[in-house]
């Protein structure tokens, strides 16, 4: 069995945090240390392909009413347009999640089974919304000051500050939501270099194995 500390017990971790805080960087550091990494965003794309028809059935009428093109010429959902349709509506987001989250959870379970002999990390913003969170040994919550996140997101995505702030607002109380899921959550602040972040992750892993 391939594990971070060489012991015959693998770790299952979730790496999460608000937008532009550095969770992707943290996941890459863990992957470099030997963890198998699954990106929930990529799995979400795969899941949407699986449930494409169900999502179209759910939202087609509303999209027509709002004059939003929900699908392309091949009948595949245009993700940006779907986001435009449901963003800002708690009810619509929940309706979408009821369709897609079971498939995302299935794909994560499948990934875990395929990598049963090694430590794994799930890089996900909202893993607390799916049952797999209960199988995680710990949650590494990567955070950084809002102003740093704002300019990182601006540089990375090129979006207007107003849109970025709306995305930030949609992730309000993310830490508390993980706490409410009874996850063993530990915060790491990403305020410096990648080397500094790696050192903090090493401390996180050491404490995790000592507990």
Reported as a single tens digit per residue, the pLDDT across 82-101 is 988 998 888 999 999 999 99
Mean pLDDT score, 11-15? 96
For residue 122, report the phi and psi dihedrals to the nearest 5 degrees: -105, 115
Supply the pLDDT for residue 167.
82
Query: What band does 162 get if pLDDT is binned at 50, 70 and 90?
Result: confident
Pairing mode, if any, of strands 12-16 and 36-39?
Answer: unpaired
Query: What band does 120 get if pLDDT is binned at 50, 70 and 90?
Result: very high
Are 130 and 136 spatial neighbours (Cβ–Cβ below 8 Å)? no
Q: With a cut of 80, say whether residue 50 has pLDDT above it.
A: yes
Mean pLDDT score, 72-79? 95
Q: Is position 20 annotated in a ligand binding site?
A: yes
Mean pLDDT score, 25-51? 96
Q: Is position 6 annotated in a ligand binding site?
A: no
d(CA 18, CA 149): 9
Supply the pLDDT for residue 77.
96
Q: With a cut of 80, say whether residue 200 has pLDDT above it.
A: yes
Query: What band does 188 get if pLDDT is binned at 50, 70 and 90?
Result: very high
Token duo for residue 61: 């009428």
Most confident of 37-46, 162-171, 202-211: 37-46
Nearest residue to 120 via CA among 131, 128, 130, 132? 132
Q: With a cut of 80, say whether residue 169 has pLDDT above it.
A: yes
Question: Strand, coil or helix: what is 138?
Answer: strand
Q: Is position 24 annotated in a ligand binding site?
A: yes
β-bridge mates for residue 121, sequence order: 13, 37
Supply the pLDDT for residue 172.
86
Its pTM stands at 0.90
Q: Is position 22 annotated in a ligand binding site?
A: yes
| Domains present along the chain, CATH in parentheses | 1-35+118-211 (3.40.50.300), 42-117 (3.40.50.300)
Supply the pLDDT for residue 183.
84
Mean pLDDT score, 13-40? 96
113 burial level (CB within 10 Å; 0-12, 13-18, 19+): exposed
Q: Is position 74 annotated in a ligand binding site?
A: no
Supply the pLDDT for residue 160.
85
């Amino acid at each position: 069995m391939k594990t971070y500390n060489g012991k015959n017990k693998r770790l299952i971790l979730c790496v999460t945090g608000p937008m532009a805080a550095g969770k992707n960087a943290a996941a890459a550091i863990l992957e470099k240390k030997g963890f198998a990494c699954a990106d929930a965003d990529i799995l979400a794309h795969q899941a949407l392909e699986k449930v494409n028809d169900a999502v179209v059935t759910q939202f087609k009428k509303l999209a027509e009413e709002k004059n939003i093109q929900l699908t392309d010429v091949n009948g595949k959902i245009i993700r940006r347009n779907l986001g435009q349709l449901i963003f800002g509506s708690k009810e619509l987001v929940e309706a979408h999640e009821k369709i897609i989250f079971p498939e995302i959870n299935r794909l994560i379970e499948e990934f875990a089974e395929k990598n049963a002999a090694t430590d794994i990390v799930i890089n996900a913003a909202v893993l607390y919304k799916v049952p797999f969170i209960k199988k995680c040994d710990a949650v590494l919550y990567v955070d950084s000051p809002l102003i740093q996140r704002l300019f990182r997101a601006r540089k990375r995505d090129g979006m207007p500050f107003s849109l970025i702030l709306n995305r930030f607002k949609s992730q309000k109380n993310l830490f508390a939501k993980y706490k409410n899921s009874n996850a063993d959550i530990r915060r790491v602040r990403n305020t410096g270099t990648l080397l500094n972040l790696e050192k903090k992750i090493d401390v996180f892993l050491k404490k995790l194995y000592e507990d």
